Amino acid sequence: MLYRKIYIKNAVIAAAFMTALGGVSACVNIKKNEAAPEIKKIAAAPAQTKTIVPEVNGFGTLSYQKKYDISASGDGVLAKLYVREGGYVQAGGLIAQLSNEQIDLALERAKNELASSSAAYDLAKAAYNEARYTAEARILSLEKAEFELAESVVEYQENERKLSAQSVLFDAGGVSEEAIRIGKFALQTEAAQLEITRRELAIQRIGFREKDLVDAGFTVPEGKTERNNAFINLATRRAGAELRMAEARFLAAEKELQSAAFAKEQLQIKAPASGTAAMRYAEEGERLKREDKIITLIDTESLYAIIPVQEQDALRVRQGMPARVTLDGTNETFAGTVDLVSPYAESQSFTFSVRILLPNNVFKNDTFARPGMFARAVIETDEPRNVLALDAASIVRRKGDDAGIFVVKDKYVYERAVHLGAQVDGGWEVTGGIAAGELVVLRPDSRLKDGEYVSLVNN
């Protein structure tokens, strides 16, 4: 019995051992049938520095620098329109021609009035000159009469002396009484003639006396020539006034003609500046009133690119900064300059408008640059500088300026927190958290974990 119990016990132990051994064997078989864990393959590249130019980018449209609303200078009919929409005109070029019958009639009347007043002016000048000649002749005639009077006085005095001598002879009996009577009669006649001559001379002197000069308000000159000129001016005062009146009428007629000619000239509407006709408001043959719009002219000698930028970018932009403007339709790029940064933000978009002035040669009549075209602008806000940059695809998470990346060290990946700076081409500037040359995982898988063993492959 004892042997049997021992046998049974050993059999149980053996069975248990075999069962355990079978389990181990089964476990070993299961492990052999499972696949070994896969090592992740990643692409990585060293963090490198690059030269960047701090800039602000924006998208907007081209706009004109100035606009002119060309209006009718007065009432009239639009006789001719020389510029149509899209047409280019040089400064001073003819845009439109108006016609006005009243202005035409006024111009003809002004011409006739000028001709009439010119003739009257010529007559007045002739009358004035004639009056001066007459006054000069009067002066010479007076001088002659005074000379003749003086000569008559001398002759009278001589005859008086002879009569006195004859009277002495008569007392001595040398001359008859009849001779003395005849001599006295002749002397009395000469005396009467002298008085008549004096009175006639006094009559001729009227208007040529010093008293007349004083009464007329003239100063009596001391010299003979100056006094004679004063007498001539006094004698021709009426003719001089008529001459001045005729001259005034002539000058007024000239001004009237100039005014009518100016009104006629204003019927020609000319361009105040070079530009392109943008919109037409009137047709040929249409009657217009003063200030009625005819056409709108936009000054395209210089164009603006109007670019809206965000608040943080607007604070970096200053007047005078260089910019590059590319037209979407033509892919042409022009160098420009920041001319204005709006001092206030748009109420809806909360952006600031930046106005970039393009060079004068951008627009020509046959070129492609036109107001309203879409444009992209790049504004250089600072000098170029070297920065450490990361590709945007390397970033696994980002919140504000803080981000996370994976770096590779000894074939293990480790998550690293970095601090971002300005945005650069295709990525971000890194201002902290990584050094140049460290391997950064490119396009990391979402299942990649910190501390995971990896295998590097070519990028």
Q: Does the pLDDT of residue 378 top 50, yes or no? A: yes
Q: Does the pLDDT of residue 29 top 80, yes or no? A: no
**Contact by Cβ (8 Å): 274, 301:** yes
Residues 62-81 have pLDDT tens digits of 888 788 899 998 889 999 99
Task: Please state the rounded mean pLDDT for residues 388-392.
Answer: 86
Residues 249-283 have pLDDT tens digits of 999 999 999 999 999 999 999 998 888 888 899 99
* Highest-pLDDT range among 3-7, 126-130, 369-373, 386-390: 126-130
Confidence of residue 172 (pLDDT cuts 50, 70, 90): confident
**Contact by Cβ (8 Å): 457, 439:** no
Mean of pLDDT over the chain: 84
Pairing of strands 293-309, 333-341: unpaired
In this structure, of 169-183, 205-219, 391-405, the range with the lowest mean pLDDT score is 169-183
Residue 165, both tokens:
């001598």
Residues 102-118 have pLDDT tens digits of 999 999 999 999 999 99
More confident residue, 392 or 65: 392
Q: Does the pLDDT of residue 330 top 50, yes or no? A: yes
Residue 102 φ then ψ, to 5°: -65, -40
CA nearest neighbour of 179 among 431, 375, 187: 187
Global pTM value: 0.53
Looking at residue 316, its pLDDT comes to: 86
Task: Please state the rounded mean pLDDT for residues 126-132.
Answer: 95
Q: Does the pLDDT of residue 303 top 50, yes or no? A: yes
Residues 395-452 have pLDDT tens digits of 888 888 899 999 999 889 999 999 998 777 778 889 888 988 899 998 888 888 888 8
To the nearest whole percent, how much of the chain has pLDDT over 70? 89
